[in-house]
Every structure is written in structure tokens, then in C-alpha cells.
Amino acid sequence: GAVVSQHPSWVICKSGTSVKIECRSLDFQATTMFWYRQFPKQSLMLMATSNEGSKATYEQGVEKDKFLINHASLTLSTLTVTSAHPEDSSFYICSAISTSGGRGETQYFGPGTRLLVL
Amino acid sequence: ILNVEQSPQSLHVQEGDSTNFTCSFPSSNFYALHWYRWETAKSPEALFVMTLNGDEKKKGRISATLNTKEGYSYLYIKGSQPEDSATYLCASTTTSGTYKYIFGTGTRLKVLA
């Protein structure tokens, strides 16, 4: 149980294009999903928290117009990197928690998406 | 300690050896400490969540302890096997602000056959 999928796993795109990444909870309902980014040799850094049916909450320093997050259902959240540039090249990974929520709640992660912007 | 720190960054051990590594976290406003096992190209797998000082959790050959007063957790692997090779991540949550994980950079373990 508690499986999260993420697609695509790899994407290479040209500078200036937009890229959409999907995160799905396959066997549970997730009112909250999280998007992280990881640069080489660094820790997973939270970009935004996404609640179903409401606007995402972005961490300080993350441009909300650059990284569009949509959480339209209890099983799907999407991250769109708009007008991608080489500095957006990174590893992006999502996670989800079940509807019960709580500060001790375990997050379940997708396998991540590696983005390379040429 | 202001951030979550893990040590060592990486290590190699021989099959059959036991090993341990450390996660240090801010002890103020502590709520929970999570350990994950992350194999390349797979999803991080939740191992343990601990909240109470002195907590000990065990799953097969892997166990973890928690000291919330001094802000550290140890992860132990007994009789390491090649399939234990992975990156082990810890993340803490606090009682203040919004719920979110603060991750360490991980310990990359390679078990040599």
C-alpha cells in the first residue's frame, strides 16, 4: 500500500519550453502533496505544499509563476516548470500524505523526475 | 544545530559487517524523526518514524534509536547485505509552523560482496 507514481522519470527539453510532471497516489487519497527539488550533493528541499482544491503554498525563494502547481483531485498533483532554463535542471520529487494528516504523518514518495534543460 | 545533518556522507562495508550512521537535528520544537531507505531509480521507502525520547524501532536487521534531548538518531544495520546498499535519509518535523520535513543530505551505503 501507499504507492505514489511520478511521470515522466526523465525529461530533456529546450530552453524556453514548459514541462509538466505528474504525481499520483495510486492506492490512497492524498489531501496534501509536496514537491521537492534536489541539486547534486544537496538535500531534498521543499518547494511547495499542495492541498487538494486550493492554492499551493510555496517556500521562500520559490517562484510561484515559474513553478505552477495544480492539485485538482485527491490522487493527482501536477508541477509545471514554465519557460524552463538550464538553471532549472534538477531532480524533482513529489510526496503525499493520506487524508488523516498530522505532524507525525509519514510522507510517501514518488520515484522522482530528472529534468535537463538544454 | 540549525539544520538536519547526517554522517558519514558515504561508506563502504563488507558483506556481513554491522554498521551505523547518525542523523543530527534541532532539538528545540522537535516533533518527529523519519528514516527512509532510497535505492537508485526507486521511491524512498519509509523505514521508521519516531517521536519519543529513547524510542527504539526495529525492522528485520535494521534498527534505530532516538535522543530528542541532544538531537540525534542512530540507524544500525546488523550483518549488512549487498541489497542494503542504498542512500539512507532522515527528516525531522517540528511542533512550530506548518508541517513539513527538513531533510539531511543522506548517507550513501555500499555493501561489498
pLDDT digits (tens, 9 = 90+) for A63-90: 999 999 998 899 999 999 999 999 999 9
Q: What is the mean pLDDT of chain A?
A: 93
Least confident of A6-20, A89-103, B45-59: A89-103
Distance CA B109, CA B113 (A): 13
Residue owning grid cell 499542495:
A50
Would you say residue B2 has pLDDT above 80?
no
pLDDT category, A104, cuts 50, 70, 90? confident
A87 burial (CB, 10 Å; 0-12 / 13-18 / 19+) is: exposed
Q: Give which of A9, A24, A31, A43 to mutate to test B binding, by max B Cβ within 10 Å.
A: A43
Q: What is the mean pLDDT of chain B?
A: 95
Q: Give which of B42, B101, B105 to mutate to test A binding, by max A Cβ within 10 Å.
A: B101
Would you say residue B1 has pLDDT above 60?
no
First to last CA, chain A: 37
A28 burial (CB, 10 Å; 0-12 / 13-18 / 19+) is: middle
Q: What is the mean pLDDT of residues B35-40?
A: 96
Query: Which of A43, A49, A101 has the CB atom closest to B104's CB atom?
Result: A43
Helix, strand or coil for residue A51? Answer: strand
Residue A104 to residue B36, Cβ atoms within 8 A? no
Question: What is the pLDDT at residue A105?
Answer: 85
Q: Which residues of A touch B36 (CB under 8 A)?
A: 109
Q: pLDDT tens digits, residue range A30-58?
A: 989 999 999 998 999 999 999 888 889 99
